[in-house]
Structure 1
């Protein structure tokens, strides 16, 4: 019996912008002109046991209209049991591989879908219980107002109010990742420390657009290159700290909340 199933997705990509979604929740999006490979946790995108849908897309890198002939993406889901703070390998699911684009083939993007079956012991606050965002009036204005409020809270050092805004997201993350109370607190404290030590909220970029996920029940703001539009910057170290926040409208409510 697996007491604390811990799902990750292992991937390798080259010469493309790529995005991988689990149940229409983005777990990784990145542009690489060379090669990149790693393994990342995905439990937070699994909200119920059963079949989980993976959708992956590769696109031409910035400045190009079509996919490079070297564009590549391959990935597979892995299952570990992390009970008692041990990482025990349990299973690897089938690998998915994009076919290479021919040198004479002109296409700006490719998409592929696959699935795997997961069993989870936890319960999350579910985004799919929210309202359809197409029914929300002035959604763009409301979303920008939410981002401006987050920025104001950080800039005015109202950290307890900022933490209250992200509490549902952090509770979901702690639950799905089996974090202890102290580990969950450390996650939040680390972010606040960055804000206190030189990281400042940057204005939303001019190329900011609304991006919908969760089959139309989640929304966020993104740059044109797929990065979160809400980010902090440290002028001394030249480092960026990107804060991707997903918003939804809980059933029966009218205002956006972070989840």
Structure 2
């Protein structure tokens, strides 16, 4: 559309389609009636913790940079393992124990996407992607658990026999073995958030117009995680059906 004197020009048109709105209405879900409280198996949040990760790294830049424009960051976890170190009571009257204290081992890397200008006055913006690894552990104490993890123990036993012909010697050719194996649900982690605080600089200060080929970073990350375990829980079925 124009006023006849100043036409409007679209220099970079692309194909587009105007969508037609569709009618929608609320659907009623079908719930199976139940007279008892069912048991379901779902992930249960054991703990939520914030880990502070402190790393330092040198990132080479090729071609050299004259100015850092932007830096984007993400955290990737490659390992998150809960190792029990203290145990409490048995909630199920068997070989299952609660975990009251544990070490949380984490490993991963910080992915940095660095955009920078070169020394050319009209040079293109360069992009450098670097992955900075980190690893460490934290201790989860009883007060930090919302729900204690549970772990079942396996056992094995061996029964011996006496020599029927000589009651003073045991038999070395006859044994009875018994094994009990409990397969546990492995606790796991989910990322919630990451807060980055960093200082990026050239190890050798560069004057205006000069370039530098190494970017040194000192970075602090407050990484918040959920620790979960798939568990069986009973839910209230009153009102269903």
1 or 2, which has the higher helix percentage?
Answer: 1
- TM-score of the aligned structures, taking structure 1 as reference length: 0.20
The higher relative CO (CA closer than 8 Å, separation ≥ 6) is in 2
Larger Rg: 2
Normalising to structure 2: TM-score of the pair?
A: 0.22
